[in-house]
Amino acid sequence: MVSVSSNAIEDLKAATRGQLLLPEDAGFDEARSIWNAMIDRRPAMILRCAGVADVRRGVAFARDNDLPLAVRGGGHNIAGSALCEDGLVIDLSPMKSVRIDPAARRAYVEPGAKLGDFDHEAQAFGLATPLGINSTTGVAGLTLGGGFGWLSRKYGMSVDNLISADVVTADGELIHASAASDEDLFWAIRGGGGNFGIVTLFEFALHPVGPQVYGGLVVLPLDQAKHALTQYRAAADSMPEDLSVWAVLRLAPPLPFLPPEVHGKPVIVFAMCYTGPIDNGPAAVEAVRGFGQPYGEHLGPMPYAMWQKAFDPLLAPGARNYWKSHNLASVQDGLIDALLDAIGKLPSTQCEIFLGQIGGQTCRVAADATAYPNRDTLFVMNVHGRWDDAREDERCVAWARAFFEASAPFALGSVYVNFMTEEEAGRVAQAYGPNYERLIAVKGRYDPHNLFRHNQNIKPAAQ
């Protein structure tokens, strides 16, 4: 148990504009609740920050009292890095301002904002930047790990659209990092996670998107999946970059356009978003409609902000989640066979495996231009184990691990850091590949004592 004097705690309360929550306070358990219900940690205190001054105060308090420190943005990270045991959580969720400059096409975003907050403001001006596929994901964590979504083939990774950031470092300094100032720090936070400080403001470039896009779902029986995936593989290279098509294998959810008898059956779903001219949408997705004879489809114009929320019901907080992930350069025959075998053994109705298509602009950036290095990745594959009952942990985790091992021979060997679970510290070097040594050096400069270590940790050379 940590030992911090009551006077020090009272001084911290008095010196902050936000709220300091202790275990006996109302709202503490709610504040320590995060998206992945497998993570159950009890911090000693949670500082709900109202602004940069509170963040600096919290960093100094943790450092001076030798407390474990965790940083919470959206609380969506699979590894549960938003919480620590018996330490201080700096909770940024109250800091969720999003300001749009439509003339300059810039967004200024605080670290507590979620994708839904961002889209709400940016889409009012018909603007967007590549950010995830789930509106409840935090902008900060997603971006710091690299970030990709429906717009990435056209506009790159989230970090490719980051113009600058305000960062509170381990010594409490506030640094404005950009290509023109503190270039090493700016390079490192574009993929290096929360290892180097706490970002209190992100500046993003925006692009004209929507408000209407064309897209939706095509749902095929699983017995057509092998043929459909070979068609998908063949079509991917010729798809326009303003079209992104993801493949999801799972049991059919009760979608209203599917016959009731299909609900719960194993399926392959092609989810797609086309951001070109709406009138060109039907032609852009026509090839996908020909991958097989669908159980059903739902395609048409829709608000981009609505599409960003389409998968929210399948990703709601409160379930138990376990992921394993590979980066892919292709969808090989052996991988398809392993996929179909795994879907035939689903341990719960909520488990799924998806192939997230990127490529395009994400591959045109040099591997060493940002800390995120995986510029040869055309598909990010994630094994998403999801269930509700803790008694099912062993079975569901074993299923995910078994498919991860079976699919490894067909993968690049690298991994997207945001999809790594808390047990995967040994894969950090794989996540950063050729950029790992430089990241260690930057860590040694900005956080030599590893204050920011509750993450996929890059240790300074001295440790």
pLDDT value for 299: 98
Does the domain at residues 7-91 carry the CATH identifier 1.20.1250.20? no
Q: Pinpoint the residues of the chain covered by CATH 3.40.462.20.
A: 212-419
pLDDT value for 108: 98
How many angstroms separate the Cα of 122 from the Cα of each of 116, 129, 144, 204, 242?
10, 9, 20, 11, 19
Token pair listed for 131: 């950010």
Class of domain 212-419: alpha beta
How many angstroms separate the Cα of 109 from the Cα of each of 222, 266, 348, 351?
41, 40, 37, 33
Nearest to 118 by CA among 246, 130, 191: 130
| Rounded Cα gap, residues 99 and 264, in angstroms | 42
Class of domain 98-209: alpha beta
pLDDT value for 1: 54
One digit per residue, pLDDT tens: the chain, 463 residues? 568 999 999 999 999 999 999 999 999 999 999 999 999 999 999 999 999 999 999 999 999 999 999 999 999 999 999 999 999 999 999 999 999 999 999 999 999 999 999 999 999 999 999 999 999 999 999 999 999 999 999 999 999 999 999 999 999 999 999 999 999 999 999 999 999 999 999 999 999 999 999 999 999 999 999 999 999 999 999 999 999 999 999 999 999 999 999 999 999 999 999 999 999 999 999 999 999 999 999 999 999 999 999 999 999 999 999 999 999 999 999 999 999 999 999 999 999 999 999 999 999 999 999 999 999 999 999 999 999 999 999 999 999 999 999 999 999 999 999 999 999 999 999 999 999 999 999 999 999 999 999 999 999 987 5
Q: Pinpoint the residues of the chain covered by CATH 3.30.465.10.
A: 98-209
The pTM of this model reads 0.96
pLDDT value for 3: 80
pLDDT value for 463: 59
